[in-house]
Structure 1
């Protein structure tokens, strides 16, 4: 008889191989968080370069104070969903803040960004509809497709021509067509060609949902993400996002101008049957959003830091993504070698993310760095230096002569 967990043998073996490299990259314990950019790990002071804390707001004093006051005023949690236990005033205030920020009429706040995608996508697309999703979509998007009942069609990553081709094949099929893409992709850090996707959407009379999890607070003149940077704010039908990146907390949202939006509050199961965000998180996110709007210099500092890390690693000879952004991923071909390199970095006081298949597209192994506005130039230069040292030690870099030729 097959054991209950026998089907996970390949996962267990792969995880075991990684742990044999010297440590468990998926079980890191931060013994003490010293600041936005440093923590104690394995007794060592370690630079955090893998936290997605893009604006460095986890220790913003006003956001911390707002969270503390909310705990004192409202307690530690809501102990139920908004459908069952009611909405606190902060929930509705945050939804209004976000709607105003994006220039939209409607907003729903979810307990996680994962649930925002899970709820929005599975509810919007019905049994006679079509979900057309980018092949490199986040796990939450794929899981939303599994939860729902629509027909799912994948198109080639960031390829408007392939999207157009696949929509043309179902042009005469009844049902709504909903395109789902991300703004900045979480693994490779590349950006969606939103202008081209909008043109395809209009051509076929489809809807477009953009997940701005990694681009909110990072791109656009006011931080509204890639849709603002590309000037397509009013052409995107639905926007999802998270508070666990630039807002320094946890939670998610769905925003739209659709006139029947509010029916989702009594139709979306991941919204209806999950306990709502605690007042402390609501309060800290409202304050962090206010900081984002009041301090555009945070985004400018973030992009200066992106240049420091990206340009430094590129000059060292590492293979990186083609587009700059707060996600800077070093591409490797061997998962085990990537695990060895990750361990070597941690032992030298640098924490990054190890990303491996099947989470990564095309079987690529990544040393995934994320940049923070609070990083100092010296910290990022040190990260470049340590990565280069490890790269040379384990043969991750081309020979110097080849590096010079590539640079020319």
Structure 2
């Protein structure tokens, strides 16, 4: 019997697109019955430092991207409720036709100002932002250069183009430059694409070096700030602020579903760039605009991001406390500087068992395996929040120490 997701992921000859369904469903049901399946756990409360899980009770939440705990913030909820009462539940149309409310324009202005840019456009999701932005700008005789750890939405966006796509080794600027030297003269335009903060490793791209290369070889640079907004930089304004290079990136995209605690995505840049994307990105043109309640809440989120650093400061404290102790214990957490803390195990079954034992200790932690990461990079992916107490984090660290030693991950 097949034992892992990747056993079903491998392409094979078949005469029916449903050929794998029966075997996968059998595997899934068996995994659920033996409690090996740890996905789609049902939450019965708002996500904060703790969460109520059906069948498990209250757990310490380490699996949410709600880093600044703004999803259920009282001011944000009140703003969302006010927008719901005034505008109703849905927008009713795509943004270009009848779905742009005054709230949408206000949020776009907030986001553009946050990044010191002329204009922003908001999309239904971060995923649709990236695929729409890339596919609207790239032509067949262009070259796309992506970091190998780029988010799936960036990679999928390249597949919607007819351009040449090449990958450079993760954060390896020497490899990127070799590709530019070899290929630049063969193409009309070049777009370098990367995450600001990488979603599975929590490390940051070398923006200063990327800027130097894009200028040297007459290329453009696109950065996805999904996991950077609100988290990195002195004021949480992302990778540019972290490197003191505000305004240097050609295209910035991001999501409103991580630190901002809502849903949606955005692209910011010059007026000419954003208006072009708005009118040529199919994922924008043909998608109903964000619901007013979500937009109302997000406007208040940006008020908080602009004026209140207390959430970020508490998160910074938690990051330092937690990562320093993990390194002392001997865990491999890579080069993370963010709220994402990977505990790299390298063995899929061991990773799942460790996540299950953490769950038994009332700790909600995600096991990340192939195809989300390579088969040798299975890991526990921990997401820290500003609202985690020191007591909660120390409990998690104690549990990780015991379980890590049990499975030989640390000594």
Give 1:312 deviation, angstroms.
2.1
Match of 2:5 in 1: none
Give 1:47 deviation, angstroms.
0.4
Match of 1:110 in 2: 123
Distance change (3 Å), C-alpha of 1:76 and 1:230: same
Pick from 191, 199, 204: which aligns with 2:204? 191
Match of 1:166 in 2: 179
Match of 1:65 in 2: 78
Does the 8 A contact of 2:369 with 2:375 survive in 1? no
Match of 2:258 in 1: 245
Q: In structure 2, list runs of 5 or more residues that go unmatched.
A: 1-13
Q: Does 1:80 align with 2:112?
A: no
For 1:147-191, what per-residue CA distance to the aligned partner results, in whole angstroms no more than 9, with x for missing partners?
A: 222211111111111111111112212311000011110001111
Match of 2:52 in 1: 40
Give 1:15 deviation, angstroms.
5.7
Give 1:258 deviation, angstroms.
5.7
The aligned runs of 1:90-105 (5 Å cut-off) are: 90-105=103-118
Q: Report the more deviating stretch, 251-260 or 349-358.
A: 251-260
CA distance in 1, matches of 2:361, 2:207: 40
The aligned runs of 1:95-244 (5 Å cut-off) are: 95-244=108-257
- RMSD (Å) for aligned C-alpha atoms: 1.9
For 1:114-156, what per-residue CA distance to the aligned partner results, in whole angstroms no more than 9, with x for missing partners?
A: 1111111111111221111111111101111112222111111
CA distance in 1, matches of 2:26, 2:139: 39
* TM-score normalised according to structure 1 size: 0.93
Does the 8 A contact of 1:355 with 1:365 survive in 2? yes
Classify the secondary structure of the residue corresponding to 1:367.
strand
Give 1:259 deviation, angstroms.
3.0
Q: In structure 1, list runs of 5 or more residues that go unmatched.
A: 399-408
Distance change (3 Å), C-alpha of 1:28 and 1:363: same
Classify the secondary structure of the residue corresponding to 2:44.
strand
Give 1:360 deviation, angstroms.
1.2
